[in-house]
Amino acid sequence: MITFNKDRFASDLINWYSVNKRDLPWRINSDPYRIWISEIMLQQTQVNTVIPYFNRFMELFPNVVALESASSETVLKAWEGLGYYLRARNLHEAAKMIVENFSGQFPKDYESIIKLKGIGSYTAGAISSIAYNEPVPAVDGNVMRVMSRILTIWDDVALTKTKIKFEDIINDIIPIETPSNFNQGLMELGALICKPKGQKCSICPVMKHCIAYNGGVDDQLPFKSSKTKQVNVPLITGIIINNRNQYLMRKRPDQGLLANMWEFVQVEGFEFEDLKFYLLEHYNIELEKGYRLGEVKHIFTHRIWLMNVYKSSVSTFIELPNHLKWLSKEELELIPISTAHRKLFEWI
């Protein structure tokens, strides 16, 4: 299947990685727990952003048992600002699985690891190869980009079958003796040299193996079909305060987007009256006049929140359901709030 010299390619890649690998906090040892946390954090998040979060997370939850025993709200609070909060909830669930099924010891083989909540083939492969030196592929977008250029593969990298194809290719190339450095070398090459745009071919350690570079088509790969168009969602968001200087906050449902995160109350609509009617109709909360503060835009994968922000107040107290609370500014710092709503703090 592979027509180039796979042994020389692997050797050149590993030699480069051993000299040029970055000094990252999850590389200080081969602890599978640290590798796992880092890999989950690095999904859809830049390395420089992850580092302080990773260090703080390790201080709060130094091992699986510490993570398992924490409350879900504490875990979400530690994750606050990283986004894609389902990752944090899955981490917590997987920690419970490890404590229950493996006595708190991280499982030591690929087949056991991939059964954990929130772990797919890439993460299982990364943990297995880096922590336990198991010769299994760890294929993500970076690796598919690198190998699509190396071998001039035009398959659509947005498709699951293409990822499986690349896993088969890596299975054929990965050296049995040094799978850890090989997989990390591919990841590092994609991060530092073989970038999505502006790839540094002139200093690439495996340039001579790259069929796309030598054919002059490296800038055309990888091929990826168009993303689903993002939907604009107009929202009226209320910073609502009572006469005790407390803010009305709402906890999102335990399923779906930003599950279990807290937020200022908002409703789809274009006018302040939409929010006023919603609160009166659902909770018998009557708002005073609203003052528009500005607009906040927050981008998710498939939608864009266009938040028209208003400040208003209430003059009476009524009993609230469990998912609504009046909280002081100091108390807001103690609960998990999404980045979208943290942007509103400039107005409180």
In DSSP terms, which residues pair with 268 in a beta bridge? Answer: 235
Model confidence at 63: pLDDT above 70:
yes
Domain boundary among 220, 239, 258: 220
Average pLDDT, whole number, for the chain? 93
* DSSP code, position 268: E
Mean pLDDT is lowest, of 56-65, 110-119, 224-233, 272-281, for: 224-233
Question: What is the pLDDT averaged over residues 261-276?
Answer: 93
Q: What number of residues does the chain have? A: 348
Task: Please return the burial class of 174, using the count of CB atoms within 10 Å of its CB with bins 0-12, 13-18 and 19+.
Answer: buried
> What's the number of domains the chain is made of?
2
Note whether residue 25 is domain-resident.
Answer: yes
Note whether residue 226 is domain-resident.
Answer: no
Q: What is the pLDDT of residue 167?
A: 96
299 in the same domain as 156 = no
Quote the domain boundaries for residue 51: 6-220
Note whether residue 279 is domain-resident.
Answer: yes
Question: What is the pLDDT averaged over residues 87-107?
Answer: 96
201 in the same domain as 245 = no
Rounded Cα gap, residues 53 and 48, in angstroms? 10
% helix, strand, coil for the chain, step of 5? 50, 15, 40
Q: What is the pLDDT of residue 3?
A: 58
Say whether 338 sits in a helix, a strand or coil.
coil
Model confidence at 230: pLDDT above 90:
no
- Report the catalytic residues: 39
Model confidence at 150: pLDDT above 70:
yes
> What pLDDT, in 10s, does the model give residues 157-189?
999 999 999 999 999 999 999 999 999 999 999
Question: What is the pLDDT averaged over residues 101-113?
Answer: 95
Q: At what angle are helices 141-151 and 179-192 packed, to 10 degrees? A: 90
Note whether residue 206 is domain-resident.
Answer: yes
Note whether residue 78 is domain-resident.
Answer: yes
Q: What is the pLDDT of residue 281?
A: 84
> What pLDDT, in 10s, does the model give residues 281-336?
888 899 999 999 999 999 988 899 999 999 999 977 778 888 899 999 999 999 99
Does 222 sit behind a cis peptide bond, omega within 30 degrees of 0 on the bond before it?
yes
CATH number assigned to the domain comprising residue 269: 3.90.79.10
304 in the same domain as 342 = yes
CATH number assigned to the domain comprising residue 181: 1.10.340.30
Note whether residue 1 is domain-resident.
Answer: no
Domain boundary among 196, 220, 244: 220
> What pLDDT, in 10s, does the model give residues 193-222?
999 988 898 899 999 999 998 888 888 899
